[in-house]
């Protein structure tokens, strides 16, 4: 049985000097099974936090990956060296507006500025130790808002399995100094999601 899966608070990644990127991969002529090769490449490149999604559409895979400051994203993409990979592009995330999995039930934001790297290492080791004696360390990190569990669909009995999808919006930021187009776009998108809260979960 694999250990429970968790996601760290994004500010802890930022404090560690990591940057979030989305990387899209397109394979041709066929989409091969690249799980083992991709996992090995991520390990070789010292990438410790990544999610990979299989897509339906123009691209085959989408990676949500935190890259350390020592690794240039162009070199990361070139270093993937996967069979039949024909095209790859990427987007840097400059600001995280919402994070569905973190602080959902907390009234006050967690205090993260004084979390030491050694504490994070202890929690990571406890997660993979798979022994009940270490669960208190993980529970403390959950209570402090450092990380949150990722629930599989079959672990949530009262919810029907859903479909995860991505919407990629391209918009001109314009040149007007009096209008913050990024803020306007975010407010509009958030209103659409709020209005659809009975249909969309974990946005």
Closest CA to 163 of 153, 173, 176: 153
Q: Where are the domains of the chain?
A: 1-159, 169-195
Q: 181: part of which helix (H) or strand (E)?
A: helix 181-195
Buried/exposed code over 102-138 (b: 16+ C-beta within 10 A; e: otherwise): beeeeeeebeeeebeeebbebbbebbeeeeeebeebb
To the question of pTM greater than 0.85 for the whole model, the response is no
The pLDDT-based confidence of 111 (bands split at 50, 70, 90) is confident
Tell me the sheet residues that pair with 20: 66
Mean pLDDT (whole number) for 85-107: 79
Buried/exposed code over 174-201 (b: 16+ C-beta within 10 A; e: otherwise): eeeeeeeeeeeeeeeeeeeeeeeeeeee
Closest CA to 193 of 185, 184, 182, 201: 201
In terms of average pLDDT, the best of 22-26, 34-38, 107-111, 175-179 is: 22-26
Range in 16-30, 89-103, 137-151 the model is least confident about:
89-103
Task: State the pLDDT at residue 186.
Answer: 84
Q: 27: part of which helix (H) or strand (E)?
A: strand 19-27
If one looks up domain 1-159 in CATH, what number appears? Answer: 3.30.70.920
pLDDT above 70: residue 103: no
pLDDT tens digit string along 182-203? 778 888 888 998 899 888 877 7
> Cβ-count burial of 172 within 10 angstroms (0-12 exposed, 13-18 middle, 19+ buried)?
exposed
Quick one: how far is CA 63 from the chain centroid? 8
Q: 65: part of which helix (H) or strand (E)?
A: strand 61-67
């Amino acid at each position: 049985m694999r250990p429970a899966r968790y996601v760290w608070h994004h500010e802890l990644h930022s404090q560690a000097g990591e940057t979030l990127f989305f990387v899209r991969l397109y394979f041709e002529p066929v989409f091969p099974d690249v799980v083992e090769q991709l996992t090995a490449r991520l390990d070789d490149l010292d990438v410790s936090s990544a999610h990979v999604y299989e897509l339906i559409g123009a691209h085959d895979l989408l990676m949500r990956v935190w890259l350390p400051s020592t690794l240039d994203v162009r070199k990361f993409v070139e270093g993937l060296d996967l069979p039949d990979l024909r095209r790859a592009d990427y987007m840097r995330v400059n600001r995280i507006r919402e994070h569905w999995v973190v602080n959902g039930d907390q009234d006050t934001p967690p205090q993260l500025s004084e979390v030491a790297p050694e504490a994070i290492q202890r929690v990571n080791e406890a997660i993979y130790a798979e022994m009940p004696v270490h669960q208190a360390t993980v529970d403390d990190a959950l209570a402090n808002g450092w990380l949150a569990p990722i629930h599989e669909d079959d672990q949530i009995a009262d919810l029907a399995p859903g479909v995860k999808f991505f919407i990629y919006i391209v918009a001109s930021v314009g040149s007007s100094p009096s209008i913050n187009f990024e803020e306007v776009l975010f407010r509009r998108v958030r209103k659409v999601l709020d209005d659809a809260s009975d249909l969309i979960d974990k946005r």
